[in-house]
Amino acid sequence: MAKNNIKNDAITPRDVDFAQWYTDVCRKAELMDYSSVKGFIIYRPYGYALWEQIQSYMDKRFKETGHQNVYMPMLIPESLLNKEKDHVEGFAPECAVVTKGGLDDLEEHLIVRPTSETLFCEHYAKIVNSYRDLPKKYNQWCSVVRWEKTTRPFLRGSEFLWQEGHTIHATEEEARSETLMMRDIYEETAKELLAIPMLTGRKTEREKFAGAEETYTIEALMHDGKALQSGTSHYFGQGFAKAFNMTFLDKDNKLKHVYQTSWGVSTRLLGAIIMVHGDDNGLVLPPRLAPTQVVIIPIQQKKAGVLEKADEIAEQLKAAGMRVSVDASDKSPGWKFSEAEMRGIPVRIEVGPRDIENGHCVVVKRNDGVKTQMDLDENLPQAIHDTLETIHQEMYDKAAAFLNSHITRVNTLEEVGQVLDEKGGYVKMNWCGEEACELKIKELYQATSRCIDEHEEADGVCPCCGKKAKHVVYFARAY
């Protein structure tokens, strides 16, 4: 048996060792492999196909909302990265540095981009002069490098794939509205494409992005009760604009600094998909995302007409716009079932000689294993299409129920630890707004503030220090 093949008994159950289960799924579903450089992974075809689906969906949303794609250099001069104080402090410890080029030592070291704010700023400063040139709404799909000590596939790596949007605007109001719009697009993408409900809110001063005035976040809850920051949208105000001299002549003939945003999601989303939906048989992919939505597995495929019927069904479903494959390999049906389950294919159709004789097939839903007999007639594509939509809704509802049942309101410091230890998920609590109290909770319970509730006003005292609360905030242990 080939070493890269999927074995029936291949993965550790989630409740035995969740971290090992995660790694098992990443490897056995052939999403990724390790490379010989620590922390740098190989995105294998199935893993990369998931990212392509996310790209394709989001790119369309970005373009519909007036954004344009560009490509900036991979290397940033050290002096340019150093221009904005908070920014360089945030990234300097994580940088990969190019010191030689073409056999020569470089006069100025070049940083492999950890993020591209500084390049966008420099370019915008050059090309924008008048209010007529605004807004500029650019996005870039690329990989970035951040030197990490401990890494996990998709969740934390020294290189990861992402998109980074960078926009500049004539007014604060417009920039703030862009920041929130992108946060909303992220939340909708999670809901509509990934079937993942998100907790959304604003980051605390301590947790926000290096250089940002505000950071908005979408946070997903994993099966093990830990949170995963899945996308962020930043409002920069005029900080970078002043550091990089991004000015424009406004309608009133005055020279002003622009207002700026940036926002990004990364291949972390693949980690969220795995850990929100996966089960002990492997991946469970949301249907709109799945590279293969339906796999047809012929039973007794050597019997006359079986493979032909499988292909015929595949053509019928493809014609109706579904992504379909037929597994006509010489493996046993049981093996094929396991493989399709490991890969999380939303719908499996089994069709054998007796089914054909009786004019039906067996349809199995990956998310809950429910089997249905369906007629092999012209209504099949609609029925399968409806099944895919049902699966999406069921997956979202299940994840939303899990999220909602794992938000626990607490009023004392002891409760924080108790809830995190016994149940996991988010504790929702009053907070004074001081970093000292965040740090205390981190030290005591290894939990960080995930976000500030934007809708609920604090009423009471901070359970850490007893002072009057300013915000309602969510804490969780997080990836």
- Contacts to a copy of itself by CB under 8 A: 2-4, 33, 35-37, 40-45, 48-49, 51-52, 68-77, 80, 92-103, 109-110, 112, 119, 122-123, 126-127, 129-130, 132-133, 138, 142-143, 145, 147-149, 158-159, 161
| Cβ 274 to a copy of itself shortest distance, Å | 17
Query: How far apart (Å, rounded) are the C-alpha atoms in residues 406 and 479?
Result: 16
Angle at 214 between CA 270 and CA 264, to 5 degrees: 25
Query: How far apart (Å, rounded) are the C-alpha atoms in residues 372 and 359?
Result: 14
| Cβ 39 to a copy of itself shortest distance, Å | 9
Pick 106 or 444: Cβ nearer a copy of itself:
106
Token digits for 61? Answer: 């949303």
Task: Return phi, psi of residue 475, to 5°.
Answer: -110, 150
Task: Tell me if 153 sits within 8 A of 76, measured CB to CB.
Answer: no
| Cβ 128 to a copy of itself shortest distance, Å | 8
Element (H, E) at 37: none
Pick 100 or 468: Cβ nearer a copy of itself:
100
DSSP string, 213-225: SEEEEEEEE-TTS
| Cβ 146 to a copy of itself shortest distance, Å | 9
Pick 99 or 300: Cβ nearer a copy of itself:
99
DSSP-H helix ranges across 423-479? 435-445
| Cβ 132 to a copy of itself shortest distance, Å | 7
Pick 4 or 372: Cβ nearer a copy of itself:
4
Pick 342 or 395: Cβ nearer a copy of itself:
342
Element (H, E) at 392: helix 380-404
Token digits for 399? Answer: 């994840």
Closest CA to 153 of 57, 69, 274: 274
Pick 99 or 393: Cβ nearer a copy of itself:
99
Question: What residue type is 371 in one-letter code?
Answer: K
| Cβ 194 to a copy of itself shortest distance, Å | 20
